[in-house]
A and B are shown apart, each in its own frame.
Chain A
Amino acid sequence: MDNYIIEMLNITKVFPGIVANDNITLKLRKGEIHALLGENGAGKSTLMSVLFGLYQAEEGEIHKNGKKVEINNPNDANDLGIGMVHQHFKLVDVFTVLENIILGVEPNKMGFIQKKEARKKIMDLSEQYGLKVNPDALIENISVGMQQRVEILKMLYRENEILIFDEPTAVLTPQEIDELIEIMRGFAAEGKSILFITHKLNEIMAVADRCTVLRKGKYVGTVDIKDTTKEELSRMMVGREVNFKVDKSEAKIKEKVLSVKNLSVASEHHKNLAVNNISFDVNAGEIVCIAGIDGNGQTELVSALTGLSKMESGQIILCDTDITKANIRKRSKAGISHVPEDRHKHGLVLDYSLEDNMVLQRYWEPKFQKKGFIKKREVRKYANQLIEKYDVRSGQGPTTIARSMSGGNQQKAILGREIDKEHKLLVAVQPTRGLDVGAIEYIHSQLVASRDSGKAVLLVSLELDEVMNVSDRILVIYEGEIVGELDPKKIDVQELGLYMSGAKRDKSKGE
């Protein structure tokens, strides 16, 4: 007999317009690390929310240690020893680390919080598991990595023995990911059981014991990691063979499209320049990648290029037109398409429908309006075209509210909108962040297609694989300066890493 600590049997959960979980069964052994794999929108988070009591399933049962249990709210889950680190951290920004950890289970005498007691327990846990935190720091002032440690401490503080991690690595740096994996192994060794939602195959191969795969809300199967391969997992997840290599032919470089001259941008965070005297060109028919570790001026560079923020000095020329002083709409009309870094903040109006989002930059064109009135029918027709062409999946088609869509489909919608619009230069900033293999593959192929149709593509990426596979030319940015111009065919990842970390730089660049 297998020793299952949690069994989720035949769970079905329906949302308006979509069956998020369709008869799914998941069995978790005591002391194992169990990965839950699936594309965006496959129903992983929904299933875990059912286990954690945030949603109630329409059908199915949950058993703990063989006994049927009812989980109607997070309190019930907590009483059963189930804890969860949510993908979007559930932390109160203006509270301290300590206050966030104890919220809901405050040690108290007659309602008065006993902070001393709480502090001691937190510091003990922090030491025992090597989760360094400053209990008095405000959440808004600490790094994302530390916020995650706070979330983990929240579970430990509640003495949970079943730990759910919802895409924990999406927001972490490579070093932090390694640390997290160590911590998870430590928990498992101690007898805690871990459910780990992800779509990163490398991490599953590195840390998980078993893996359950979901696809479009349905159960595909559960496999032992030692008996499987990355390829098999991805086939189970996507339902077909996945190409990890990006198919592309030699770049056919044509005329110069974008020319940036001596661009400097002030930083919002410190007194130094975030972008310091950068010059580069991007030509039609090539993908130029700005590679670098997060926070080295990429965001500011792109903001200045697209007109989201002002520059200190320098010049931007697009196809022989000086657009240095042009506003965002003029730049957009001049031919810049922009897939922004933060798709929720700059890519979509989350509470608008998908169709309205599709014409955000174009509603004023005669095609979509007449005398100030929007031609609803035209907009819908256009939205339907894009939805079909770019395979955007959603509950209610063009009338779906953008907020309710999965990240991958939101990104496909933005990409479709930007590529379909008349443009000469496509600026794509971390276009695959947080997306699953299938969506990444699709977006990469679209970038290459855009290049092949004679557009210039400027890609900003933090992912080494993406930089090496997609780009035709690499510009490495470090502390606001371009420290190297590299050919991806002639260098390897290690060398690129040296440039990105500032250990190496071209003599010809800067200084």
Chain B
Amino acid sequence: MDIVYYLVQNTLPVAVALLLVALGGMFSERSGVINIALEGIMLCGAFAGCLFVHFIEKNSLPAQLIFVLGMLVAAVAGLIFSLLLSWAAIHMKADQTIVGTALNMLVPATVLLFSKMFFMSDGVTTNTRFYIREVKGLGDIPVIGKLFFQNTYLSLYIGVVILIIATIVFYKTRFGLRLRACGEHPQAADSVGVNVYTMRYAGVSISGVLGGLGGFFYAVGVMDGNVNGHTGVAGFGFLALAVLIFGQWKPIQILFASLFFAFLRTLAYSTTLIPFLKALNLNQDYYKMLPYVATMVVLAFTSKRSRAPKAEGIPYDKGTR
């Protein structure tokens, strides 16, 4: 039973990071802009957030307050960085895949340059302990308490709140309806007076905010508060894209997809604790490939029935019939 608790407790922070980034991707892609740059946005948020924490943690502020402040900085950084994509893809009608790729290359290089210049290292490290041993009161609840309120991070609860808000905004509001229309049939949206450019800017900006948050949550919850320009976010931005596709561009399915991938990753890093897998005596590295191999397999099998937003990737031009 302890193994189960351990796996769940370790899966959730990973899943939250994936979930937020994939939700961000959902807003961007369903508004019609492919966001390959999620990887870059994540790293940008992670670096900005951790850098902020690095400087502020000398003051004796409560750890969770620092976490929230760092999170906000990461969100703003992600937002600003995503504007580069919006501007190129929406305003200048550039090819979205190429812009995204360029942005992805830009961030790790910048992080390295910056870190070498100021810290003489490959990244930035922080020392604050954001880890929550146990949530007072709730941690004592049998089973549930152990699963969700012990050995975790604040990111988990923030992630749940964001998921709920995102789902409601997406399906219940005027904004959500218009955003989705722009990703499916921008001409239709335009003909009823919806400003396609504005909606797409909004979609990409939300992906910037959520991507930045997700990056920070990854740095804190998965990498113990460290960011490194070489390893970056270990392909989590791309994994989030896979989650997005596996989740069919829908929030609740994205939740389950991110849990699936996060669980595989946790499993891969916990093989020594599971007697059966330990007995196989395979090289650890094979297990670590698991989430990435699963991505390929899952996408190969689900892509046939997957239905991307119809107008995704096509710059909107009023003139086309």
A residues lining the B interface (CB < 8 Å): 52, 54, 73-75, 78, 84, 86, 88, 90-95, 99-100, 102-106, 108, 111-113, 154, 403
* Given A111-B175, A112-B172, A112-B173, A103 and B318 contact (CB-CB distance below 8 Å): no
Q: Is the CB of B174 within 8 A of A403?
A: no
Contact present for A93 and B193 (CB under 8 Å): no
CA distance A86 to B192 in the complex (A): 12
Q: Is the CB of B173 within 8 A of A54?
A: no
Q: Taking CB as reference atom, which chain A residue is nearest B191?
A: A90
- Given that A73-B193, A104-B192 are contacting pairs, would A111 and B185 also be in contact in the complex, using a CB cutoff of 8 Å? no
Distance in angstroms between the alpha carbons of A73 and B175 in the assembled complex: 20
**Is B122 located at the chain interface by the 8 A CB criterion?**
no
Cα–Cα, bound, A103→B188 (Å): 9
A-B contact pairs, 8 of them (CB 8 A): A73-B193, A74-B193, A78-B192, A103-B192, A103-B194, A105-B193, A111-B173, A112-B172
Please pick, from A84, A86, A91, A113, the residue contacting B177 in the complex, using a CB distance under 8 A: A113
Does B57 reach chain A (CB closer than 8 Å)?
A: no
Query: Would you call B174 and A95 a contact (CB within 8 A)?
Result: no
Identity of the chain B residue whose Cβ is nearest the Cβ of A76 in the assembled complex: B193
In angstroms, Cα B309 to Cα A406, docked, is 28
- Neighbouring B residues of A94 by C-beta, 8 Å: 184, 307
Does residue B189 face the partner (Cβ distance < 8 Å to A)?
Answer: yes
Kindly list 15 other residue pairs between chains A and B, CB separation below 8 angstroms, not including A95-B180, A102-B177, A104-B193. A52-B191, A74-B190, A74-B192, A78-B193, A86-B191, A88-B321, A92-B180, A99-B177, A103-B189, A103-B192, A105-B192, A108-B173, A112-B172, A112-B173, A113-B177
Residues of A within 8 A of B180 (CB): 92, 95
Contact in complex: B193, A106 (CB < 8 Å): no
Chain B proximity of A159: nearest CB distance (Å): 14
Please give, as numbers and ranges, the residues of chain B lying within 8 Å of A52 by CB-CB distance.
191
Least Cβ distance of A84 to chain B in Å? 7
* A residues less than 8 Å from B177 (CB atoms): 95, 99, 102-103, 106, 113
Q: Is the CB of B185 within 8 A of A91?
A: yes
In the complex, what residue of chain A is closest to B169 when comparing beta carbons?
Answer: A111
**In the assembly, what is the distance between CA of A154 and CA of B177, in Å?**
16
> Chain A's nearest CB lies how many Å from the CB of B135?
31
Q: Is the beta-carbon distance between A90 and B187 smaller than 8 angstroms? A: yes
Query: Cα distance A52–B192 when bound, in Å?
Result: 10
Q: How far apart are the CA atoms of A95 and B194 in the complex, in Å?
A: 16
A116 to chain B, nearest CB (A): 13
Q: Hey, which chain A residues are within 8 Å of B175, CB to CB?
A: 111
Q: How many whole Å from A423's CB to the nearest CB in chain B?
A: 31
CA distance A113 to B178 in the complex (A): 11
Closest residue to A104 on the B side, CB-wise?
B192
B192 touching A154 by the CB < 8 A rule?
A: yes
Among B178, B187, B191, B194, max chain A CB count under 10 A is at B191
Give, as a whole number of angstroms, the nearest-CB distance from A269 to chain B.
18
Interface size, chain B (Cβ < 8 Å): 23
| A334–B114 alpha-carbon span in the complex (Å) | 67
CA distance A324 to B307 in the complex (A): 35
CB contacts (< 8 Å) of A90 on chain B: these are 185, 187-188, 191-192
What mask results when residues 179 to 207 of chain B are scored 1 for a CB within 8 Å of chain A, else 0?
01100110111111110000000000000
1/0 per position for B82-110, CB-CB distance to A under 8 A?
A: 00000000000000000000000000000
Which residues of B sit under 8 angstroms from A106, Cβ to Cβ?
A: 174, 177
B310 close to A (CB within 8 Å): yes
Taking a contact as CB atoms under 8 Å apart, the answer to whether B321 and A403 are in contact is: yes
* Given contacts A54-B318, A403-B321, A92 and B185 within 8 Å (CB-CB): yes
* Closest-CB distance, B180 to chain A (whole angstroms): 8
Smallest Cβ-Cβ distance to B187: which chain A residue: A90
Chain B residues numbered 299-320 whose CB sits less than 8 Å from any CB in chain A: 307, 310, 318, 320
Interface string of B46-79 (1 = CB under 8 A from A): 0000000000000000000000000000000000
Q: How far is the CB of B171 from chain A (nearest CB, A)?
A: 9
Contact residues in B for A105 (Cβ distance below 8 Å):
192-193
B193 lies within 8 A of A84 (CB): no
Q: Which of B172, B178, B185, B194 contacts A93 (CB 8 A)?
A: B185
* Nearest B residue to A115, CB-CB: B172
Cβ–Cβ < 8 Å partners of A78 in chain B = 192-193
| Beta-carbon contact of B181 and A95 below 8 Å | yes
Q: What residues on B are CB-neighbors of A102 within 8 Å?
A: 177
Closest beta carbon of chain A to B158's beta carbon, Å: 22
Provide the bound-state CA to CA distance between A149 and B321, in Å: 21
Residue from A93, A99, A102, A103 having most chain B Cβ neighbours under 10 A: A103
Minimal beta-carbon separation of B214 from chain A (angstroms): 25
Q: Which residues of A contact B185 (CB under 8 A)?
A: 90-93
Contacts of A100 in B (CB 8 A): 188
CA A92 to CA B196, docked complex, whole Å: 14
Smallest CB gap from B168: residue in A: A112
Q: Which residues of B contact A54 (CB under 8 A)?
A: 190-191, 318
Taking a contact as CB atoms under 8 Å apart, the answer to whether B184 and A103 are in contact is no
Complex CA distance for A154 and B192, rounded to whole angstroms? 9
A253 to B162, CA, bound (A): 75
Q: Is the CB of A92 within 8 A of B192?
A: no
In the assembled complex, the CB of B165 is this many whole angstroms from the nearest CB of chain A, namely 12
Question: Knowing A74-B190, A103-B189 touch, does A93 contact B184 (C-beta < 8 A)?
Answer: yes
Q: A178 to B175, alpha carbons, bound, how many Å?
A: 39
Interface centre among B185, B310, B318 (most CB of A within 10 A): B185
Q: What is the chain B residue whose CB lies nearest that of A74?
A: B193
Minimum CB distance partner of B188 in chain A: A90
B320 contacts across to A, CB distance below 8 A: 403
Which B residues lie within 8 Å of A84 (CB)? 191
**Separation of A403 and B318 alpha carbons in the complex (Å):** 15
B199 to chain A, nearest CB (A): 11
Contact A108–B321 (Cβ < 8 Å) = no
A92 and B184 within 8 A (CB): yes
Contact residues in A for B187 (Cβ distance below 8 Å): 90
A154 to B318, CA, bound (A): 21
The answer to whether A113 and B173 have CB atoms under 8 Å apart is yes
Docked pose: A84 CA to B188 CA in angstroms: 12
- How far apart sit A106 and B176, CA to CA, in the bound complex (Å)? 11
